[in-house]
Amino acid sequence: PSPRLLAFAGSLRAGSYNRRLIPVLAEGARAAGAQVTLIELRDYPLPIYDGDIEAEGLPENALRLQALLGEHDGLLISTPEYNGSMPALVKNTLDWISRPMPGGRSGTTLFADKVAGIVSASPGPLGGLRSLLVLRDALAKLGLIVVPQQVAVGQAADKLHDYGQLDDERAREAVHRVGAAVVRHLKVYTATGANA
């Protein structure tokens, strides 16, 4: 069976460079044999995490995201960089998913031993590279294996003109390689039963 990957960009705005970039990462993973589910976080609005809200029951969209993650073997994320870190949207989404599911099982178990590939885009020269360090660390703490390959696309305004269109061949190939690396890791895992 082909690996199933859940993909999203960590930005809500229509003209987001990261929303334009995530299909490129998905394309690389699909070319390597994955099935990719590309979602928009706009379709899963969540309040900032609040234990009092949680005490009333997990929000419907947190439940939906937990269910989705449960059906996938890994994650593909394209993240903006805000003040040298990942946006609150990305952290908040991960935090809600990590909460106990109905029945009591920890949401963090949904992440365990899954494989992630991460990229970033920014109009600045560093392409959001610092956000990747923070996101990599956050994902590792949740138990995911984040492949070493990563790409930060700088000068995004000159390169990401449209959805799924990265007008920089070297960067495009590098982003494809991130997707392919995730698939490769998952295939080795499955073959060895290491993630059983």
Binding residues for ligand FNR, rule: CB under 6 A, are 11, 13, 16-18, 80-84, 121-124, 126, 128
Task: Identify which of residues 3 and 154 has a Cβ nearer to ligand FNR in the complex.
Answer: 154
Three-state DSSP class for 114? coil
Task: Identify which of residues 101 and 126 has a Cβ nearer to ligand FNR in the complex.
Answer: 126
- C-beta of 108: minimal distance to ligand FNR in Å? 27
- C-beta of 190: minimal distance to ligand FNR in Å? 32
Q: Which two tokens stand for residue 104?
A: 């009591």
Task: Identify which of residues 98 and 120 has a Cβ nearer to ligand FNR in the complex.
Answer: 120
Task: Identify which of residues 62 and 152 has a Cβ nearer to ligand FNR in the complex.
Answer: 152
Cα torsion for 18, 186, 108, 49, to the nearest 10°?
A: 10
Task: Identify which of residues 89 and 180 has a Cβ nearer to ligand FNR in the complex.
Answer: 89
- C-beta of 90: minimal distance to ligand FNR in Å? 11
- C-beta of 118: minimal distance to ligand FNR in Å? 14
- C-beta of 77: minimal distance to ligand FNR in Å? 12
Annotate 116-161 with DSSP letters as a single string. EEEEEE-SSTTTTHHHHHHHHHHHHHTTPEEEEEEEEE-SHHHH--
Q: Which two tokens stand for residue 166?
A: 């990265």
- Nearest Cα residue to 175 out of 186, 193, 159: 159
- Nearest Cα residue to 86 out of 64, 118, 42, 54: 118
Three-state DSSP class for 13? coil
